[in-house]
Structure 1
Amino acid sequence: MLGVVSKQKNKVPAITLGYWVIKVLATTLGEVGGNAVTLTLGWGYLIGTVIFSTFLVAAVTAQIRSKRFQPFLYWAAITATTLAGTTLADLLDRSLGLGYLGGSLSLFTMVMTTLGLWYRSRGSISVDTVTGPKVEAFYWATIMFSQTLGTALGDWMADSTGLGYNGSALVIAGTLIIISLLYFTTKVSHTGLFWAAFILTRPLGATIANSLDKPTTAGGLAIGDFSASAVLAVIMTICILAIPQRPGQKSKSEPSRA
């Protein structure tokens, strides 16, 4: 049945410039935070994935059970996906031997499959329709796969294409600018452009993070992972408090199929 009016509130934030600023900070924090546990502490990708996956399940469960939009809870869940995505991507690419390209292609397939199932189930993949537990489940699954994809893609660009961390960040930033121009000047699907930008801000954050914590001989600034994580967490907290946070506009009629 189509055209069922949703009475539940949208619990994801409106997509504004401030949203993207906090999103990039969260993805950068996810990269250095993941590296702090797996590399600096030496606990490895498997243990890191278990730790952050536990945090992810708790945060997303709390988000889905919440009755209204809560900025800190939402961004805690986003940060959890970036932390788990970092360690999971490294586990797939390095420990399990898929390689950066193989991991990227596999994760891209997962993202597209999840979006396809979401669209088939609900008739839309717009964030404006994220107003119920089932849609939220699709939403967070898509985000988790896209965050993991972004990590693998960023590593592939930096290590396998010869661009390095800074070069990769410039290429991704340029692509995001093109997406922004398409959003404001063309009739290209805003929903499609949103998900493209969401995926690409993850490798942007990853390459920025690598520019911070990698050795100077590898093109980084050799800032410690824990120091970088602490600074990013403080900046992100300030931004959440300072940047107006409001729930996104709820669709008047959420397409659904009975």
Structure 2
Amino acid sequence: MAKNSSVSAEKDHSFSESRHRTQQIFSKVPEITVYFWITKVLTTGMGEVFSDYLVKNINPVIAVLLAGIVLVASLILQFSVRRYVAWIYWLVVVMVSIFGTMAADVVHVILGVPYLVSTLFFAVALATIFVIWYKSEKTLSIHSIYTIKREVFYWMTVLGTFALGTASGDMTASTMHLGYFSSGVLFFILLAIPALGYWLFGLNEIFAFWFAYIMTRPVGACFSDWISVSHTRGGLGVGEGTVSLILTIIIVILVGYLTITRKDIKNEHKES
């Protein structure tokens, strides 16, 4: 009897280990490391200023359509691969950043919706996605992104965080008259709260991650706006085009580094 129990336990352990490895192999997102957060903030800043650059230099309708087409194409590419590929994943994030910025701007500029209202709208929309995702999958962990259904929920959530972050950053900078730099500092402090809560006080990992993820958007957007906009608007006046180019170069170098070193696939290094 004891022998059978031992064999059964070994089989269960073997099955669990095999399932864990399978989930790692087919995971469609990177491990959460310092590289992840650095790249995330850079893509938010790049998406913000490049979106502004596009709508100012070409027809806004054409700019939105082009961004939407490239976003869809990048998502098709992301869903076609069976595991996380750094350059594909971050291409989608960049395009979500650009399109999310445009979506938030359209709601305010074209439809005339105040930033406070659009912020509340995107907050409710994001909360709704979280609720539906959790009821369907019983988890909001990004470590569980190894099915198409969960990946759909994941990218819907990411798009929602970018739209919410853009609207909230514009709200504090414009409606609340804090300016871009002060808004960036404010959201950086808010970003630090879940990080410190997780590291020092055992804050729920999933809640801490998504709270910090949402905050990275206005942090990157506000500081990139501050660097790019004119002195009359409280910025450094570097220009959207120049800032977009510099951030793009940095992102390409960083993603290239991650592609070569695979430092954002932590579990792979542990097993090797």
User: TM-score, normalising length from structure 2?
Assistant: 0.86
- Structure with higher helix content: 2
Aligned length: 245
Take 1:94 and 1:143, find their aligned partners in 2: how far apart are those partners? 22
Q: Where does residue 64 of structure 2 map in the other structure?
A: 49
Q: 1:112 to 1:220 in 2, by over 3 A?
A: same
2:192 touches 2:212 (CA, 8 Å); kept in 1? no
Q: Where does residue 35 of structure 1 map in the other structure?
A: 52
Take 1:85 and 1:245, find their aligned partners in 2: how far apart are those partners? 28
Identity over the aligned pairs, expressed in percent?
Answer: 31
What letter corresponds to residue 51 of structure 2 in structure 1? G
Larger radius of gyration: 2
Can you give the 5+ residue segments of structure 1 that lack an aligned partner in the other structure? 251-258
Q: 2:150 aligns with which of 127, 135, 138?
A: 135
**Where does 1:12-27 land on structure 2 (aligned, <5 Å)?**
12-27=29-44
Deviation of 1:90 after TM superposition, in Å, equals 0.2
Q: Where does residue 255 of structure 1 map in the other structure?
A: none
Q: Where does residue 242 of structure 1 map in the other structure?
A: 257
Take 1:42 and 1:238, find their aligned partners in 2: how far apart are those partners? 28
Take 1:32 and 1:108, find their aligned partners in 2: how far apart are those partners? 22
Q: Which deviations, in whole Å up to 9, do the C-alpha atoms of 1:109-130 show, x marking residues without a partner?
A: 1111111111011000100100
**Partner of 2:169: helix, strand, or coil?**
helix
Residues 1:63 and 2:78 aligned together: yes
Take 2:153 and 2:120, find their aligned partners in 1: how far apart are those partners? 20
Deviation of 1:199 after TM superposition, in Å, equals 0.7
**Where does 1:191-206 land on structure 2 (aligned, <5 Å)?**
191-206=206-221
Deviation of 1:95 after TM superposition, in Å, equals 0.8
Residues 1:189 and 2:204 aligned together: yes
Backbone CA RMSD of aligned residues: 1.7
1:10 touches 1:247 (CA, 8 Å); kept in 2? no
What letter corresponds to residue 40 of structure 2 in structure 1? K
Larger mean Cα displacement after TM superposition, 216-225 or 144-153: 216-225
Larger mean Cα displacement after TM superposition, 167-176 or 74-83: 167-176
Q: Where does residue 10 of structure 2 map in the other structure?
A: none
Query: Which structure has the higher relative contact order (CA within 8 Å, separation 6+)?
Result: 1
**Partner of 1:77: helix, strand, or coil?**
helix
1:93 touches 1:102 (CA, 8 Å); kept in 2? no
Take 1:207 and 1:248, find their aligned partners in 2: how far apart are those partners? 31
User: TM-score, normalising length from structure 1?
Assistant: 0.90
Q: Where does residue 164 of structure 1 map in the other structure?
A: 179
Q: Which deviations, in whole Å up to 9, do the C-alpha atoms of 1:199-249 show, x marking residues without a partner?
A: 110011110121122111111122222221111110111122335543476
Can you give the 5+ residue segments of structure 2 that lack an aligned partner in the other structure? 1-15
What letter corresponds to residue 177 of structure 2 in structure 1? G
Q: Which deviations, in whole Å up to 9, do the C-alpha atoms of 1:39-58 show, x marking residues without a partner?
A: 2x1422x4332221111111
